[in-house]
Amino acid sequence: MNVDLIFKIAAVGILVAVLNLLLSRSGREEQALMTTIAGLIVVLVVIVQEISELFELIKGLFGF
Amino acid sequence: MMDVLIKTVVLGLVGAVLCLVVKKANPEIALLLALGVALVLTAYGLGIVESVTEFIRLIGSASGLSAAILSPVLKTVGIGILTRLASDICKDAGQAAIASSVELAGTASALYVALPLFRTVFEMIEGLLL
């Protein structure tokens, strides 16, 4: 569990927002949507690993 | 201990502000960011809880309680923490129906974990009556 995770996710969010804005301003709405979805998937993969780490921690801690 | 507390408070506030920043552009990633902050902070908190549970186990073994009696209590605490976290995240996403079904599953599994305790009490009462 590290603090970097929070800043990583926030950075991905802001980056995706900027890219989304750029692409939709230049009239490429579908690519903007794909960018949003790609960013979402990247963040999801990171979060899922973190969730499994928390599960392992709780399993060890409360004796499951 | 104080170190962890300060870290948790600061991280929570920073995470909340970052969520607000990201939320304007894409609310989905803001929700995942909130989940990430919650996971990291829970892990910090559980780091302290570890010594508390060790102490509880020590007291349990010193007072002659069997592990079969003490472990359902600890397991229920773990189930409660996880269920609460998941259901609150679902509520933040605006899905109250998913949140309440997560809570239902958590309640059911907590009851299931506590069944051996009920059985012990039942056997005790049976032994007293016979």
B58 plus B80 within the same structural domain: no
Residue A1 has pLDDT above 80, yes or no: no
Q: What is the ipTM of this complex?
A: 0.88
Over the range A10-49, which residues count as b (16 or more CB within 10 Å of their CB) and which as e? bebbbebbebbeebeeeeeeeebeebbeebbeebeebbee
Residues 23 to 52 of A: which have CB under 8 A from any B CB? 36, 39-40, 43-44, 46-47, 50-51
Range of the domain at B58: 1-64
Residues 6+ apart with CB under 8 A from A57: A1, B43, B46
pLDDT score recorded for residue A64:
79
Tokens of B2: 């104080």
Q: Are residues B111 and B128 in the same domain?
A: yes
Is B50 an 8 Å CB contact of chain A?
yes
Q: Determine whether the interchain pair B40/A13 forms a contact, defined as Cβ–Cβ distance below 8 Å.
A: no
Nearest chain B Cα to A5, which residue? B36
pLDDT of chain B along its 130 residues, tens only? Answer: 788 899 999 999 999 999 999 998 889 999 999 999 999 999 999 988 988 999 988 998 898 887 778 889 899 999 999 999 999 999 999 999 999 999 999 999 999 999 988 888 899 999 999 8
Q: Measure in Å the smallest separation between the Cα of A11 and chain B Cα atoms.
A: 9
Say yes or no to pLDDT of A2 above 90.
no
Give the one of A16, A50, A59 whose C-beta lies nearest to B36's C-beta: A50
**What pLDDT does residue B26 have?**
87
Q: CB under 8 Å to A42, separation ≥6 — which residues? A: A12
The structure's pTM equals 0.87
Residue A31, pLDDT score: 92
Q: How many CB atoms lie within 10 A of CB B31?
A: 20
- Token pair for B14: 């920073």
Do B107 and B96 share a structural domain? Answer: yes
Domain count for chain B: 2
Res B107: pLDDT = 96
Q: How many CB pairs under 8 A join A and B?
A: 97
Phi-psi region of B94 (alpha: psi -120 to 50; beta: other; left: phi over 0): left
Would you say residue A35 has pLDDT above 90?
A: yes
Q: Give the per-residue pLDDT at A23.
A: 93
Q: How many CA atoms lie within 13 A of B107 on its CB side?
A: 7
A63 touches chain B (CB under 8 A): yes
